Structure 1
Amino acid sequence: MRAEPVSRDVASPRAMAQTLALFYVAGGSTAVLAAGGGTDQAVRRWLVAGIGLLAVAVGAALFRWDVAPPRVVQGGLVTAGSCLIGAVVLIAPDATTAVVLASVSAFVGVMACFFADRRVAVAHVVTVVGATTAALLLRGDASAASAAALAVVVSTLASVTRTLVVRASDAGSDALTGLANRRGFDEALGEHIRRADVPLSAALLDLDHFKLINDTDGHEAGDRLLRRVAGSWRQALPGGVLLARHGGDEFALLLPGLDGTEALALVRHLCSLVPGVGVSAGVAQRCPQDTAAQLMRRADLALYRVKADGRGAAALHADDPPEAAASR
């Protein structure tokens, strides 16, 4: 069963880290400002301000982190944010300040529903709503109606955010095969280029004489073939490899962690999984300082060479590293 998609343009690790950093700074700043609203309960105000400054410092550190921390770390920071919100709500000097601080829980709801899959997002929303609601009720000076109203607002914001993200993800997906489309592939490739992943390879794969299938057997037969090929290849790919329908009968592979030799071997294996269907493929390994366009241009040149030589084969671009070229 296909998992619920999350939009690639918002769900990259770097985008998640930057958004998390912004929310930590904004939430911490809210706590500092709210704590300075009076002179009574000075100890509580100082505690709230201290927690707020801690949150701002964490956010600032995330902004300065050159490489986005792993998603598990970022998920832990979202959970930690929920705990901090519950803590400041509980120790807030008065009910008004507590409700203001509890409203920061909306950041957690939006964050979780932008970047996590459905189950994790629901878990984060339940955690932060539960923590803030419990903290407000435990105080005794905040009404249950206020706590319930806040829970409704946060849950609604999270639900709407999730709906928009799922719809946005459709822009990066191919409706016929369920794979990423060209836009989704280009966004993922751009992310890997920005992270300077080494090694990194890419491949373009064409189904030979696909137009003849459409012309003789009809477009429905062509669509069935595309779905069959996509299903066979998707099941055979290792984790971390992105398969996309690049357009028409052309597929694209993004192969982080694989050099040209390894990528070529994997592509040749994929080509063998669809008996009776000819496949031509071009593979390229990213060279230092390559842009996304340059990497894909070299894969396309390798594919062009295969087609010129008679199709039905896979080749590595001639300018790729000698140790990769020598293995062909």
Structure 2
Amino acid sequence: MAVLCAAVTLAGGLVALGQDLYGPRAVAVVVLLVVAGASAVLLVVRGASLPRRVLGGLVHTGGVGIGLAQLVPQEPQAALAITALLSLVVVEVSYFFPAAWVRRHMPALVLLSNGTLLLRGDVHVGYVLAIDAVLLALGLVTSQLAERALGAHRDPLTGLPNRRSSDDRLQALVAAGGTFSVALLDLDHFKEVNDTAGHEAGDRVLLRVARLPARVLPPGAVLARQGGDEFVLLLPGRDGDQAVVDVWRVCDALAGIGLSCGVAQHQPGDTVAQLMRRADGALYAAKSAGRGRVELAAATGTPA
């Protein structure tokens, strides 16, 4: 998203270079470029921790900004060139937001953004409708392709990253080096929930874990479902002691759901298999000690 915001800034600047803009028109162009550039910086610095509604607000702001910018240039060709920037917003929305959100918001975003072209009076309505049709088709097709690609890396029930995705991210963390920790979270007595209350009740428990509020986790943390009743929590930049505090915070946020957790800090030279083996050993120790505990694995492979 940050790259696309930066692209809007660059493209908008190139369009502005070809115009003789003075007074309010020049101010409008400057404001548009500043907003797009500031959005790019915000997404680079805080993008991973921003709530969905804030990201959605940035998208709508970009669409409205492009719509207003269409009124700035005197020539209709320049206004249509600015309309091309909307294709970047469409791709951004289609790729980064759920398909249901795209279907709900895309038509209004496109029609409202391009509706300003009709206010100019020098752009034929047929051109506007043709552009809208192409943008809507682009958005829907991109959304479907992104959803299919994402499905290979998402757990179908919870929507969390699956084992394949978490393994890829863990491999990247190991390759990058630096300080990070991994935690395995296992639901206590989950089989009993399925046996006594049914699988739907078990699914509700899994979904509650998946909907853990983002504020509970530190920036950059990744919660994924390994399969069954086991989850993995990747904690970049956190040493073992910090990770234990983070995991206890998760346990407190999921009060009523019993969790046994094993934490391991990455050690220089650790492979993914070695790191996960130590985390699994700590998880086993937590279960053996009575469940409902968080255990930290020592570097030697035994729980601390």
Q: TM-score, structure 2 length as denominator? A: 0.67
Aligned position for 2:205: 233
Aligned position for 1:142: 123
Alignment of 1:218-229 (within 5 A): none
Aligned residue among 143, 158, 178 for 2:139: 158
* 79-88 vs 112-121, greater mean Cα deviation: 112-121
- The answer as to whether partners of 1:203 and 1:283 remain within 8 angstroms in 2 is yes
Aligned position for 2:37: 57
Aligned residue among 51, 55, 77 for 1:96: 77
Residues 233-256 of structure 1, C-alpha deviation per residue, up to 9 Å, x if partnerless? 315536248875525x67224398
Name the % identity: 26
Indicate whether 1:254 and 2:233 are aligned: yes
Q: Where does structure 2 lack aligned partners over 5 or more consecutive residues? A: 236-242
**Partner AA of 1:27 in structure 2:** V
In 1, distance between residues paired with 2:5 and 2:158?
39
Aligned position for 1:167: 148
Aligned position for 1:215: none
Aligned residue among 81, 94, 106 for 2:87: 106
In 2, distance between residues paired with 1:97 and 1:197?
50
Q: CA deviation at 1:144?
A: 0.6
**Partner AA of 1:61 in structure 2:** V
- The answer as to whether partners of 2:262 and 2:296 remain within 8 angstroms in 1 is no
Indicate whether 1:70 and 2:50 are aligned: yes
Residues 160-213 of structure 1, C-alpha deviation per residue, up to 9 Å, x if partnerless? 11101110121123458876420244467799999x999x872254999x9xxx
In 1, distance between residues paired with 2:186 and 2:73?
60
In 1, distance between residues paired with 2:48 and 2:161?
23
Q: CA deviation at 1:147?
A: 0.5
**Partner AA of 2:295 in structure 1:** H
In 1, distance between residues paired with 2:206 and 2:267?
29
Indicate whether 1:317 and 2:277 are aligned: no
Q: CA deviation at 1:155?
A: 0.6
In 2, distance between residues paired with 1:23 and 1:245?
30
Q: CA deviation at 1:139?
A: 0.4
In 2, distance between residues paired with 1:120 and 1:154?
16
Aligned position for 1:46: 26
In 2, distance between residues paired with 1:261 and 1:50?
48
- The answer as to whether partners of 2:223 and 2:231 remain within 8 angstroms in 1 is yes
Q: Where does structure 1 lack aligned partners over 5 or more consecutive residues? A: 1-18, 211-221, 273-280
- The answer as to whether partners of 2:73 and 2:79 remain within 8 angstroms in 1 is yes
Give me the CA root mean square deviation. 4.8
SS of structure 1 residue aligned to 2:74: coil
In 2, distance between residues paired with 1:176 and 1:65?
31
Residues 51-98 of structure 1, C-alpha deviation per residue, up to 9 Å, x if partnerless? 453245325533662664513333222111111101110222111111
Task: Rate the CA distance shift 1:197–1:88 in 2: closer, same or farther, 3 A.
Answer: farther
Q: CA deviation at 1:145?
A: 1.0
In 1, distance between residues paired with 2:71 and 2:292?
63
- The answer as to whether partners of 1:108 and 1:128 remain within 8 angstroms in 2 is no
Aligned residue among 257, 265, 280 for 1:300: 280
In 1, distance between residues paired with 2:3 and 2:136?
21
**Partner AA of 1:301 in structure 2:** G
Q: CA deviation at 1:300?
A: 0.9
Aligned position for 1:216: none
* 91-100 vs 29-38, greater mean Cα deviation: 29-38
* 26-35 vs 83-92, greater mean Cα deviation: 26-35
Q: TM-score, structure 1 length as denominator? A: 0.63
Task: Rate the CA distance shift 1:284–1:95 in 2: closer, same or farther, 3 A.
Answer: same
Task: Rate the CA distance shift 1:284–1:129 in 2: closer, same or farther, 3 A.
Answer: same
Aligned residue among 76, 98, 108 for 1:117: 98
In 2, distance between residues paired with 1:33 and 1:177?
44
**Partner AA of 1:94 in structure 2:** E
In 2, distance between residues paired with 1:76 and 1:264?
32
SS of structure 2 residue aligned to 1:90: coil
* 101-110 vs 62-71, greater mean Cα deviation: 62-71
* 52-61 vs 22-31, greater mean Cα deviation: 52-61
- The answer as to whether partners of 1:86 and 1:131 remain within 8 angstroms in 2 is yes
